[in-house]
Amino acid sequence: MSSLTLETMLHSEALPADLLARLQGWADALGWQPDWTLQPGEAWLFVRDARSGSALAGLRLRARLGLQLPRYSYHVGCAVHAAPELGLFQSQATLLLGNDHTGQSELADFCAAPGVDSTELWPALITAALAEIARCPQDFGRRLIAELAGPRDEAGRSAFWQGLGQVFYPGDPQQAQQRWGPVWCSHLASLLPRQTLYLSFLDPAVQAALAQVDQRLQPLQTALRNAGFAYADHVRIDDGGPVLERALA
């Protein structure tokens, strides 16, 4: 940490122009368009190179989720069908759309400069976010979540999306995200079925992708797990990536 410095910016502060330009460059390289504006109850946390002053990585801390626009995820559950007289017992994995994280807190919009070694960066940022929460715990929920993107191929395609999401929205999800930004998945949820979905009805590629992390995010997943986050049977509705959770004291 001697070569790194941490910086926290609250919602009442504007991002410096040089930092905003650097962040947008990272986002353009990844093909996503986050809203850099901070809302009340949010903060940006950055880690910089202490020698050059250049930003290396950052994340957004959200105090409360879903209180204005619903936040959706799939709950991964289990349905049992048994016929003792026939000697049959089947356990089926299921997906159910819901708003289970309403009122909880979140680490989001993880971003890092291309090519940097993030081994030290993510733990530093996660620790700083937990320290920010500990400063005013009454402002945050009982749980802290972090959504991680699911696996994609070299062309950026998600098997989970191709096997499920595009059935209900035939458009390009990347273009939709660029147009709608962070609220894209809330719009998507209005098109998805409210009924329980049986995973066995879906393509094997969809089943294999469920709750898996894109390989580029594996260092981040490791850092989150080391900080006490764990998978708790929820996944993203667009690409099936896992939602990790950590209890807040």
C-alpha span between 216 and 122 (Å, rounded): 13
- pLDDT recorded at residue 31: 61
C-alpha span between 129 and 157 (Å, rounded): 31
- pLDDT recorded at residue 2: 62
The DSSP secondary-structure symbol of 157 reads -
C-alpha span between 180 and 175 (Å, rounded): 9
**Residues lower than pLDDT 70 in the chain:** 1-2, 29-34
The DSSP secondary-structure symbol of 237 reads T
Q: Who contacts 197 (Cβ-Cβ below 8 Å, separation ≥6)? A: 94, 95, 96, 164
C-alpha span between 102 and 222 (Å, rounded): 25
Q: Who contacts 206 (Cβ-Cβ below 8 Å, separation ≥6)? A: 159, 160, 162, 163, 164, 199, 240
What SS3 state is found at 147? Answer: strand
- pLDDT recorded at residue 145: 98
- pLDDT recorded at residue 112: 87
- pLDDT recorded at residue 188: 95
C-alpha span between 143 and 169 (Å, rounded): 31
Q: Who contacts 189 (Cβ-Cβ below 8 Å, separation ≥6)? A: 70, 72, 97, 237
- pLDDT recorded at residue 32: 63
Task: Give this prediction's pTM.
Answer: 0.91
8 Å CB contact between 77 and 93: yes
Domains of the chain (ranges; CATH) run 4-247 (3.40.630.30)
Distance between alpha carbon 241 and the CA centroid of its chain, in Å?
Answer: 8
Residue 240 zone, left/alpha/beta (φ > 0; ψ -120 to 50; rest): left
